Amino acid sequence: MDLSKLEENILSLEDYPVEKWNPKLCEGVEFEINSDAEWFYNGSKIERIKMVQLFSKLIKYEKGKYFVVTPSEKILVKVKKEIFLITDYKFEENFIMFKTNTDEWIKLTKNNPLSVPMVDNQPYPKIKLKDNVWGLLSRNVFYKLISDANQDGNRLYLESDNNYFYLN
């Protein structure tokens, strides 16, 4: 599968109802997303941010694996950590907004919660972007959030969309 042909096919679409698309798996091709949320296609880094933005909208999760799907193609995506990396945040009215590595902003809400599980005895802060798709907060963003957090006893929390999101 030629990457420019795939991009052309995707750009011709008006909507991305990936949950309705069930094409046959394309053998011999794959995407990989490394631990810094950088995208690779068959071993070559995808440098164009617009292309990464586009492919990230076509992510489908099924049976424990990620795929990029179109109506006619389905390509395996090997993910090292998470699909997205959160690179910044800002306060806007009563929301906290998080910026992804694809320059898109997401509101911290009950539907897009922040979670901080422990992985290998380290906090693993992430925000849900859509079903089974998360953005890992960069270490810098997480430390800045800690300094902006409210404290309730020994618990740190953020308030966004009239909800509390605990950091510990």
Task: Provide the residue ranges of all domains of the chain, joining segments of one domain with +.
Answer: 3-79, 84-166
pLDDT at 14: 58
Q: Which CATH number applies to 3-79?
A: 3.10.540.10
Which two structure tokens, joined as six digits, stand for 66? Answer: 């990620």
Mean pLDDT of 161-165: 97
Question: What is the tens place of the pLDDT at every residue in 8-57?
Answer: 666 666 568 899 999 999 999 999 999 999 999 999 999 999 889 889 98
Residue with tokens 């929301």: 95
148: three-class secondary structure by DSSP: helix
- pLDDT computed for residue 9 by the predictor: 66
Q: Which residue has the higher pLDDT, 16 or 84?
A: 84
Beta strands in 24-132 (DSSP E): 25-33, 39-41, 44-45, 59-62, 65-69, 74-79, 84-92, 95-100, 105-107, 114-115, 118-119, 122-123, 126-130
9-27 in b/e form (b: 16+ CB < 10 A) is ebeeeeebebeebeeeebe
- Does 3.10.129.10 match the CATH number of domain 84-166? no
**Tokens read off for 23:** 């094409």
Contact 163, 145 (CB under 8 A): no
pTM of the entire predicted model: 0.87
User: Which H or E run contains 38?
Assistant: none
Distance between CA atoms of residues 12 and 3, nearest Å:
14
Mean pLDDT of 65-94: 95
Torsion of Cα atoms, 131 then 40 then 103 then 59, to 10°: -20
Q: What is the pLDDT of residue 6?
A: 67
Tokens matching residue 132: 């089974």
pLDDT at 4: 72
